[in-house]
Structure 1
């Protein structure tokens, strides 16, 4: 395991794999780099993937302080600086997409291209998940809550599929790590107010049946980012990048290739 120490003394664990220009992969809330285990290899023929464990998750330190998406973005910059990476492509999903928005808006010199998956513009103009999903995730029985989270991420086995649709093989074992809080109110500037400042070429991706982060957030997000493109994956939920892996990964690579052409 390799670490970067931030200005406040927090050790951030990070992982490098593959060959080529850097592609930073940012996971969802309270998740470590294992969020990307099933798909990161898709990028390795042409990209070096860089993942990290957010402070409060995985092998990173877990300081007893209030965290925020802005703070996570600062940690990403600390890792990039430590590695001597001046510019990188950024691919953030779910909460990682909001971290990615901060990076692109506040550190534009560090971002070549931006991919925002299953995320939202943040702020009061976002569409929140339904109360039924909230209640399911808040069940007191841990096993039931884990299963509800998993069902919100992917279609159950046997659901109708489209070409390129797969059922992820992972199990619903991801749980928040102690010390992780990521409310938007903890940030100085929400992604919603930062979006118009993003200048990097941007691709917005979303599953058509997303329950955790409603699909209607995708066009709202793209409308706030100059010249952003949107692609929806049919019959997929929050983990579209796993369910539609054979379509999603090549689409990301094609977008990155196009943005790197002179």
Structure 2
């Protein structure tokens, strides 16, 4: 235990509301806390009404234990912090955010949360919020939860996904060749697809011996970073 929160009020409802608010305002990183879980418990109508027993959490486990998706406000704050200049100096990379030649301005930014891509709306102006910048991560707090965003998908996460058979794009690019078909047997290290990016061709290889279960792209497709291109399945040895 790293801290204890205590609240009191003339009524149970008032005390529960104060304690729920205190839990929702907890901002701790990188230590994991159950502040968000406690806030959801305290805000539950049954808890406020005093209708609780030893099975209260178990009967509502998924509802209480699953952190909500970050709100649009959190996503916008993460996008602003990712794009912002720390020294406040004028910068075309910040001041021209969303600009595209001969096209409508881009209004969203692709970020990664827990290794998964999310689309964050770009702010119209300055955004003021408390964020924590640590290494490559932008941490935004909401409802007692900490959401850590990165601008790029961690390669470790991509490798882990590949261990489950997912072949993901390591960067934005164009699929210039698909060297296998669904149902083909492949061996570890065999090139499955070729991606053209940054004026270079990158061969994406099978992470293990197996069978091509699905091909999710075709030659000529433009793909974004982190998207799934193909899926393999392991084949039991005879």
> What's the TM-score, normalizing by structure 2?
0.20
Which structure has the greater CA radius of gyration? Answer: 2
Q: Which has the higher strand share?
A: 2
